[in-house]
Amino acid sequence: MTTAAGDNARIVDLAKLSRREANTVLQSYNGTSNSTLIRVLNPAGTHALACGLDAPLAVEIDGHTGYYCAGMNKHANVAVLGNAGQGVAENMMSGRVHVHGNVSQSAAATAHGGLLVVEGNAAARCGISLKGADIVVKGNVGHMSMFMAQAGCLVILGDADEALGDSIYEAAIYVRGRVKSLGADCVEKEIADRHCDQLASLLEASGCSGIDASEFRRFGSARELYNFKQENIGVY
């Protein structure tokens, strides 16, 4: 069921609609330039909610969501006012997803563009196979975050668990806290002015403009695993 919620705003209530019906309402704006505000009530951990959006909607989900929330997002601004399960913003192309709680593993997996902001912590494999999106996690991240990430950035204001950046390509990782261990072919690198500018821009976009970029360390690929080498057989 959808009802008006003020000027140019609507309510989608999952106590009255199925997930399929709710997503049908959201996706009915696809391909338009409509900037409608939609508030989703009673999500109750529903999986695959607000997936496949392709319009500059503002979607506020009032509660916790399950797997793959806001997957394949394009153009939309999705806010989760709670926690999100595995694969939030998976394969996102553009737009913004903002989770006001914690997220489970594989956040923004394979995402090509856009920005994911996590107010809390992210579990294992945050940014796995990232392909160009940016992620800002204000808490800690779990093990093997940015595994095989190809492009884009992960900014971590807290600590990183073991095997950070394992088999990373040309993506960048900025960490303010401690790093338990680095994965294969991931090394610490110097931060040049252009990196500080990039980091400052992401901090501002995620509401952390008061934090100094100089407090972070940068990590990236040592570029030793791009091509097969017999001497690296034990690392592959």
**Helical H segments across 60-142, by residue range:** none
Count structural domains, the chain.
Answer: 1
Contact 109, 128 (CB under 8 A): yes
Contact 10, 60 (CB under 8 A): no
Domain at 63, CATH number: 2.160.20.60
Contact 117, 207 (CB under 8 A): yes
Residues 137-167 pLDDT 10s: 999 999 999 999 999 999 999 999 999 999 9
Q: Which domain holds residue 131?
A: 2-232
Distance in angstroms (rounded) separating the CA atoms of residues 20 and 186: 42
Residues 53-67 pLDDT 10s: 999 999 999 999 999
Residues 188-228 pLDDT 10s: 999 999 999 999 999 999 999 889 999 999 999 999 877 76
Distance in angstroms (rounded) separating the CA atoms of residues 32 and 56: 8
Whether the per-residue pLDDT at 69 is higher than 80: the answer is yes
pLDDT of 87 reads 98
> What average pLDDT score do residues 75-98 get?
98
pLDDT of 225 reads 77
- Single pTM value for the model: 0.93
Distance in angstroms (rounded) separating the CA atoms of residues 124 and 189: 23
